[in-house]
Amino acid sequence: MRYALVSALALILSVAQAWGFETEAERHFGPEGAPQIRVLATTDIAFFAPVAEAFLAENPGLGIQYLQASSQSVSQAVDAEGAAFDLVISTAMDLQMKLANDGFAGALPPDIVQRLPGWARWRDRLVSIALEPVVLLIAEAALNGQPPPRSRRDLIALLRDHPETFAGRIGTYDPRISGAGYLFLTQDARMSDSIWRLAEVMGRLDARLYCCSGEVIAGLISGDLVVGYNVLGSYAAANLPEGSGVLVVPMEDFTITLQRTALIPVNAPDPEGGAALLRFILSDAGQDIQAQVTGGSVMRPESFASQPWLMPIRLDPGLLSTLDSMTRDRFLAEWTAALDQP
């Protein structure tokens, strides 16, 4: 008994040591000893679990090893470490595009690629599995009965007019450590210059910077924060409890819409397994499960017509330009300068 416990502990330690990159969580689905499909993703395990369970219900002989990591770690794992995974899912479209551009993504089966519209895939290497609007979260209490801001201009005016309410209580991504945060900011900057004025205002109000959407949402729930800027809509919908008093506001000047993308690395030990799981995620059943979990963040092109402010981030090598180290340094320097008011 004791021996078994020790060996189990050793196994856990050895698994933990096997990764040369930072992981956030890990979980196995399916029966012990079944062949494993190894998934590396930025998605919270809680979001992925229903999909994994539905997939395994259809494929009883299989198991899934799921590893959650930050988008930077995911990219680094595939790129620098050459870690062996069968499916890599990330919200950082630019990093995923770089992996595909640099030749780390293998060719996907034609039946998966051909079903998707042109905007939801890049060549046969990278496919979009979900559309996720990036939203503003604001506590109802902070509005004092006023209507919520509908655009960045409204938001800037609101923050400027009520510094006493918002000082120290604004949360957003730190683009220096979060790949997704950097992507959202560069896309904001590409759309409009208002982001620089917003950065100045948030800097004056001592905005707090976070690594992930989850922490911003937690801050709003606890009441530490009253505004969350550039938060993944799906996380907000899933994590905000009923009656929390936090509003999810899509910005009507433009709402950056992220494509959650998936690729199968060239060195995948079981690319067939990865493709099978990807096929399930893209199927109607898989999309419905995602919709239930995340509140509608699925691949429904109709939503672009009904909500014209949704601006999908184009899945093409244009994303690579902001990853250029000089461009990134200049952008972050400018953003830091705008945020850090003397």
Q: What residues make contact with other proteins under the rule CB under 8 A?
A: 101-103, 122-123, 190, 314, 316-322, 324-327, 330-331
Listed in sequence order, the DSSP H helices in the chain are 2-18, 45-58, 71-76, 93-101, 110-115, 152-161, 163-166, 179-191, 194-204, 213-222, 233-239, 271-282, 284-294, 302-306, 325-339
Q: Which residues pair with 261 in a beta bridge?
A: 90, 128
> Could you tell me the smallest distance in angstroms from the CB atom of residue 125 to other proteins?
9
Coil, strand or helix at 311 = strand
- Residue whose CB is less far from other proteins, 304 or 331: 331
User: How many CB atoms lie under 10 A from the CB of residue 203?
Assistant: 18
Label residue 73 exposed, middle or buried (CB < 10 Å: 0-12, 13-18, 19+): buried
> Could you tell me the smallest distance in angstroms from the CB atom of residue 121 to other proteins?
9
- Residue whose CB is less far from other proteins, 105 or 198: 105
> Could you tell me the smallest distance in angstroms from the CB atom of residue 268 to other proteins?
16
> Could you tell me the smallest distance in angstroms from the CB atom of residue 14 to other proteins?
32
Residue 137's nearest CA partner among 170, 115, 177, 97 is: 170
> Could you tell me the smallest distance in angstroms from the CB atom of residue 314 to other proteins?
7
> Could you tell me the smallest distance in angstroms from the CB atom of residue 331 to other proteins?
8
- Residue whose CB is less far from other proteins, 201 or 311: 311
> Could you tell me the smallest distance in angstroms from the CB atom of residue 184 to other proteins?
14
- Residue whose CB is less far from other proteins, 95 or 159: 95
Q: How many Cα neighbours within 13 Å face the side chain of 306?
A: 4
- Residue whose CB is less far from other proteins, 121 or 169: 121
- Residue whose CB is less far from other proteins, 58 or 102: 102
Phi, psi values for residue 83, rounded to 5°: -65, 145
Q: Which residues pair with 93 in a beta bridge?
A: none
- Residue whose CB is less far from other proteins, 144 or 325: 325
